[in-house]
Every structure is written in C-alpha cells, then in structure tokens.
Amino acid sequence: MDFRHQTLALQDLASADADALLLIIGAEPKGLALPGPLQQLIQDAFAAGDFAIKPGRALYLHQPAGMRAKRVVVAACAGAAPKAVRAALARALAAVKELGGVKQIAVASAGCGAWTRAQALAVAVAVGEASYVYGHTKSTAPKPPAWKRVTLLTPAEDAAEAREGLRRGQAIAAGMTFAREQANRPGNFCTPTLLADAAKALAKQHGLGIQVFDRAGIEKIGMGSFLSVARGSEEPPRFIVLRYDGAAKSEAPIVLVGKGVTFDTGGISLKPGAEMDEMKFDMGGAASVLGTFRAVAELKPRINLVGLIPATENMPSGRATKPGDVVTSLSGQTIEILNTDAEGRLILCDALTYAERFKPACVVDIATLTGACVIALGHHNSGLFSPDDELAQSLLDAGREALDPAWRMPLDEEYDEQLKSNFADMANIGGRAAGSVTAAMFLKRFTKAYRWAHLDIAGTAWKSGAAKGGTGRPVPLLTSFVLAQADSRSATRAGGRRAAPADAPATPAAAPAGRRRAAAQPEAPAAAKRASTRRARA
C-alpha cells in the first residue's frame, strides 16, 4: 500500500485529487470550514436525519457539485481519540469497498482536533486491516480492495505529526498483515519447517540475521522441555533465532520470545474436537514476533532486537509425552508434566533460559497461553504479567498509543504454591484456579537473570465466528514498545531526558529499585479450560 501525505486546508478539499474522499467528522456540520457545496449537502443530510454524529453512521455522496473527487464518504467520529478515528475510518472504508473503480483514496477530518501522530498511525492501521484478504489455500484467490494509494490530507501545522504517524502506521500495518497471513494458514501449510522458511524469507528480504536449529541442534543445546512437546509429532521441531542489529554491538538487546505451536491437539491430554481447527492459531505469539520484526526492519530504529521462536506441533502418538512424565529443562530444573495440553510454557521456558546468553535489556514473551485469560479479560485486552513495574508500564503505554491494549494481571508469590510437585522441581499446571496467573508464575521461574514480561494473547490473537482469522495483535503494541525504547535510548545518548508521553498516566511507574514482584499464572489444565472456554490452548 502506498501511503502519502499532502498539506491541504479544509476549505480547499474541493481540489483533492482522489477517486474517493473519506471525510471524518467529529462535530455537527454547521460551522465546519468545508467547501460551500459540500458543507450544505452534509448539513441538509444532518437536518433530515440521514446523518448524525454517532459511531457507525456514514453518508455517501456521489459526484457532489464542485468536488474533484467523484465520491465522498462522510463518517461520524465520536470524539478526537485515535480509537474513534480508526473506527470511523473503518466504517468509511467498508462503504468504499462496495464501490467500483476506487484506486486512489484521500482521507481528511473536520471537527476532530489537530492531527496527531497516534491518529495518523490509526489511519494507516485501519487501511491495512481493511485491505487484507486471505487466499493462500483457495483455488480462486479473492481480490483485495482496488485501492492502491491512500493520501492523508492535513493542515500545514499538523504535517510533521501526520507524516511520522503514517510512517510508523504503514510499517505496523505491514507487520500485522504478515502476522495474520502466517496465523491464518492451516497447520499443514504452516508446519514448524514452513514457519522457519517464512522467517528465513523475511530475514533475506529485510537484511535480518537468522539461525534455525533442527532437532539435533535443539538436543545439543539441551532443551529437554521443548523437545518433550515435539515427541509426539512426525513434523520435526525448529528453533528460530532472529536478529535486528540497529545499534552498537555493546548495546543490550530487547528479546521477544514467541510461542510457536503450529497445531495443538493437546497431546495425550487431548482437546475436545469442537473448534479444534482454531488451534492452528496457537502460533500467534510466533506470528506476532515475525510481524514485529517486519515492522522494525522497515522503520530501522537504533536498537538491537532478538527474536526467539520455539516451533513445534503438539500431537498424540506412541512416542508422545505422557501425563506424569518428568523432563529436564535447559535451566536444569525438572518439570512434572501433569497435563500435556499445558505445553506452551514447556517450550517457552527453554527459550527464556536461552535468552540469557544475549544479556538482554529485557525479555518479553508472547503466547496464546491460557483459556483462563480469555475468561478473565475476554477478547479486548491481552493479559500482561511482569514483576517489573517500569517495564509493565512501558508495555501498557505502548499498547495504549497503538490501540492494542493490555491489562496488567497479578504475580503474587502465593500463587507459586500451586506449582509444587512431589516428583520434580515443579509441576506444569497449578490447578483450575487462577490458571493464567499460575502459567505466568511457571514462566517466571526461568527469568531470574533479566527484566521480564509475559503477554497472554489467548483472547486477542484471533477472532472466531464469521470473521474467523488472525488479528495481527500484538504487533502494534510490540512495535510501539520497541520504538519507545529506541527513542528513550537515543535521548540518553544525546544526554537528554525523554519527556513522558502526553497520554501517560498521572501516577509515574515505580523506579526499578522499587519493582513489585507481581503474581504469575500457570496455564489452565485441559479439563478446566474445556469447562471454562471453547478457546482452550496451552
């Protein structure tokens, strides 16, 4: 998609060169500085009740007098917040999809305040979401929308913010599309090997460093917990290591760890058959890491980034790990596997131990980990767990700015009692209660060497029903977090101090010395997950 910016005042919109002009309105038409004929048409529609400043309302005008654009879609915006702008634009784009011959789109707003970076970013993401169609396994691939160019029209005083927002939004939209495409591919078209091949292609195209370990390489590293999940599958596992080197080698990297279970049957602790097809989405964490690298590679921030993806299937067979088996993780800690459907933490824990060798500034793992998180938070917020207040706040701020929200969950030490085992250092589940917390507590045992956060995206990585498919989340959150860290480090290098974002909460995050050890949460056992949600996963 070709995103552009053009300086154009509202009163000059009649000259906008586009097949369709999408006008977002956040206030009653009377008094808006629009071209006369357009202003009158909108006012008349408003007076007649054909249009109102309410979410979801839109008005289509065909060849309005005096306008260069042959089609104008007016969409109501409930305020100036980026979320409202994105929703209004999504409504306008839906109307444009039904029209023919629209290859060039222009976007403008009136009554929504000055254009901000966050608003412009929201425009690019909305266009990216509306443009994506899946066709990899269809005999006749559906045609994507005809539009090829989108131009954001703003007053001159908003140009700098708009350009930067578009730049970031375009990269994030591309990253989300990449993540959605990988997640949407069926398990036989996205095996661990094929996922590694996609990572190699991404690395080659964007100049990233990559190393892929096969089963023998994983065994040599000593990832016994990871391999225990792969035992039941005919498909060989892969361990993918990606690198983006945008800063000096001496600068500690951010490490992203993505769960890559390309299909999850639950193993011997077999899931129910209903909607098991959606377990192809259990590599949503891995997809989001790849999507984030796609965005970061385009934006080229001055920062070092490492991506770790343990990729495997979780299948039942005569070789599969059994409930009650004890395995030894890369850290040397032993794990009693009480439920093979709590496999996500078993592959993540070895990747988290592996992350130590990079001496990271921080580590964030991303996983479709627990059905319990879906029950707790639904499908709007990802679950955020971290014992580090400062890191947690940075991730929350990034999610807020990118319209990819997360909600912080507890990690109190008392939850750790649920992971006790008579036969190993720990069990891989802690019972039905607080399933997402005990899953995080399990992971926390492998992160003592660095600052760490865990994102449970079980409720946000995909949608079910008629709109079934990957969402591309949390690529926006992760990319915005990486960019914020890069900005902060650049300010430090320059000897300055980065100001807090305008939308930062009034209460500042605690300093590192005052980090609060929050409570973690284990993945819910299969029985509990089945009882609580149809979107169970490990």
Instruction: Name the residues annotated as catalytic.
Output: 271, 345
C-alpha 271/C-alpha 248 separation (Å) is 47
Record the tokens describing residue 464, joined without a space: 């079910």
Q: Please name which of 201, 173, 190 lies closest in space to residue 136, comparing C-alpha atoms.
A: 190
Radius of gyration of the chain (CA): 24
Q: How far is CA 21 from CA 14, 333, 529, in A?
A: 10, 60, 47
Q: Which amino acid is at 73?
A: V
Record the tokens describing residue 199, joined without a space: 């990572």
How far, rounded to the nearest angstrom, does the alpha carbon of residue 538 sit from its chain's CA centroid? 19
Q: Which amino acid is at 300?
A: K
C-alpha 524/C-alpha 428 separation (Å) is 10
Q: Please name which of 20, 33, 17 lies closest in space to residue 61, comparing C-alpha atoms.
A: 20
Q: Are 226 and 311 in contact (CB under 8 A)?
A: no
How far, rounded to the nearest angstrom, does the alpha carbon of residue 299 sit from its chain's CA centroid? 17
C-alpha 470/C-alpha 454 separation (Å) is 20
Q: Are 30 and 179 in contact (CB under 8 A)?
A: no
How far, rounded to the nearest angstrom, does the alpha carbon of residue 430 sit from its chain's CA centroid? 28
Q: Are 87 and 80 in contact (CB under 8 A)?
A: no
Phi, psi dihedral angles at 357 (to 5 degrees): -70, -15
CB atoms within 10 A of CB 50: 11
Phi, psi dihedral angles at 167 (to 5 degrees): -60, -50
CB atoms within 10 A of CB 17: 12
C-alpha 276/C-alpha 282 separation (Å) is 11
C-alpha 93/C-alpha 282 separation (Å) is 30
384: β partners: 408, 455
Encode 511-531: b = buried (16+ Cβ within 10 Å), e = exposed. Answer: eeeebeebbbbbbbbbebbbe
- DSSP letter for 48, please: T
C-alpha 56/C-alpha 92 separation (Å) is 9
Question: Which helix (H) or strand (E) covers residue 203, if one does?
Answer: helix 192-206
C-alpha 131/C-alpha 118 separation (Å) is 20
Strand, helix or coil for residue 175: helix
Q: Which amino acid is at 112?
A: C
Question: Which helix (H) or strand (E) covers residue 484, if one does?
Answer: helix 475-493
Tell me the CA end-to-end span of the chain in Å, nearest whole number. Answer: 36
